Structure 1
């Protein structure tokens, strides 16, 4: 039995045929004599244009199972989205808890260097937690807006280094770019390390300073991230690429091995960094 609620749809299609359309395809709801619902694909075609409709090809295809499978797949996808969002939310919360524990531990130690190590670890973890927070808030579960993520890391580090960053002006020029999770997390760690070093070493004695950050597509599937400051620059004979500090080792290792990108730097008139990586 034909579902009367779809009568208007059929009427519209028939009118279109009358006005010259060569045919139409439509999904229609039917019921068997036993009341079992069916979804049929109705296909009407004219082999030749006849004003009197003397030749018409009409075919029906039972697509009930296909529609049921489609419905099940849609339900499974929505369920997966919910589970992933919950996973991102819990991951973010767990990382924030670890960061809080590190901050608490840092407050108990009297060794300044040990305290700084704890704070550095907290900032690294927080940069990763920000990705999961972005994914939880985003409509997409697999990618985030890199420009927003960069802003969040900058704001977070400014807060962490509030005592030394009060007189530092940060300028950003960020193009709207979307990247997958596997790109955002390592890049966030690299940005965290570079900015943390800048806040700690570039402007001694609460001196005034400026940091510039730009993000853009560089062509040929590449993204370019540039950071520069007008601070004291690098010490003489200091090569970040061969430095023994964990932060510098992380920067070069992540860019070259995880991001499969290239990194360059200059220590004259402040420090400038350029990172190019594929997306």
Structure 2
């Protein structure tokens, strides 16, 4: 029995050494670049997130940020931290999406023998990983609008909560003015602005510009647009066109009433593709 305990302690100590060595390697390889990247982007992050990262152990911003990544790696041997760091440095992963990344990586780690490709480095960004693991996630039952509380529905449609720009037979376009409205109109989506069990980023986006939520009534499909960041996301928080049609351009060309409701001036950067005069 004593021999077994000694062997167990040796294995545990070896794991700790391996983890420490991996963290040291990552810090030496990426520390300076993480510091530089965080310096560039920190001003666009929420004060709460910046404060959370500042409380991580480390002598530099890069080391603190690396420890924040390590804390979101669901594997036992920190196998996915390097992938997350690389994607962050290349713009394929946002800090605000680390909690979501951790949940996808947990599914990937559990089911990678059935996921193709099974090499995490084959996925160029979080959206690609999400598409791969989605079939292995237990899907919850969507909540029908009929089951929503009528009082809450009326409250969320009041002018201090949201502004409806278009309400036709086929489409609805609105701007949420509060986090509560963003959660309500974004329910059953993967949008970080609709999050209730993790940090909600509505205020972070709203400070930089309005969010537009578009609902196609016949199919109940929804999209959320944020022009300042050129983010045009479907319900799975995947850029339009990445997970099947329509693309942003095709959607706007097919629904000019949506463009008119939002204001054609917002679409000037895409004037040629859309066909604006």
**TM-score when scaled to structure 1?**
0.26
**TM-score when scaled to structure 2?**
0.26
Greater Cα radius of gyration, structure 1 or 2 = 1
More strand by share: 1
